[in-house]
Amino acid sequence: MEQLVFGYFAGVIAVAAVLVVALRNPVYSVLSLLVMFFHVAGLYITLHAEFLAAVQIIVYAGAILVLYLFVLMLLNIKQDDRYHRQWRTAAALCLPLFLELLVLFAGADPEAIDPLAAAPMNSGEDNTRAIGLTLFSTYLFPFEVASLILLVAMIGAIVLAKRGIGGQGA
Amino acid sequence: MTIPLSYYVILSAVVFLTGVLGVLIRRNIIAILLSVELMLNATNINFVAFSRYLEDLGGQVFVFFALTVAAAEVAVGLAIIIALHRSRESINVEDFKLLKW
């Protein structure tokens, strides 16, 4: 049963990822990415990361993809020329990665269950509570830095997008 | 818990490879940013899978930080795209050669 669920999520994620790159219309690419994000959230649930699944849907699907769609509608792109001529560079870079993927495939033993996986993970414990405790004790300083990053990104986005309106720099 | 960890790693590798390929061959800047999102999600899958198998919540916390960086990247990236589109009337990466050697 678990294998079946994982197979479904993994298959949809892989196909949707390929479609994001292969589809001609950027709007369809974004929608395909939306499908992928939902299935990644499902995969998180099977991995007992329920809070992350919710955050994945709220932040990625709810905020980031809506921003993409918003900009796509704003720019109103008509032409849809798709691929580069630099496919040689792409092939040179992707071939080693692909070979590594084949090595991964060859090394994957379907019978082998990792010894670490045998133990049940804090069954009954609240995932959200556990994450909150970890985030605000061990990772408190990175958390504050993350808020600073968001502030910088917000100011940067406003400055960059505002600059072109009047013609001269902001 | 019958799924080996290597399956998650393979899934993540497939998605990451697709993202790299997308960054390299697409012309549309928005499609390139979408491919970067693909790569970030591939690493997130890896983080969560390892956090589950090693029973350490640190992996899930790191996904939060990856999410923060992704949000910041999208905000700044899309602002840059809007600015580029205002100045060049195009979002085709081959039209921007100012910094090319």
A92 part of contact set with chain B, CB < 8 Å: no
β-sheet bridge partners, residue A83: B26
Q: Which residues 3-32 of A have a C-beta within 8 angstroms of B?
A: 3, 6, 10, 13-14, 17-18, 20-21, 26, 29-30
Alpha-carbon gap, residue A28 to A33, rounded angstroms: 8
A51-95: pLDDT as tens digits? 999 999 999 888 999 999 988 888 877 656 666 667 788 888 888
The SS3 of residue A25 is coil
pLDDT of res. A162: 79
Residue B2's nearest CA partner among B62, B51, B45, B53 is: B53
Say if residue A14's pLDDT is above 50: yes
pLDDT digits (tens, 9 = 90+) for B25-78: 888 888 899 999 999 999 999 999 999 888 888 889 999 999 999 999 999 999
What are the structure tokens assigned to A145, written together? Answer: 């830095």
Check B26 against A21: CB less than 8 A apart.
yes
pLDDT tier, A121 (very low <50, low <70, confident <90, very high otherwise): low
CA-based angle A68:B92:B35, to the nearest 5? 45
- CA dist B48 and A60 (Å) reads 16
All residues of chain B having their beta carbon less than 8 Å from the beta carbon of residue A20 are 18, 22, 31, 34-35, 38
Query: Quick check: A138 contacting B, CB < 8 Å?
Result: yes
Tokens describing residue B42: 């591939």
Q: What is the ipTM of this complex?
A: 0.90
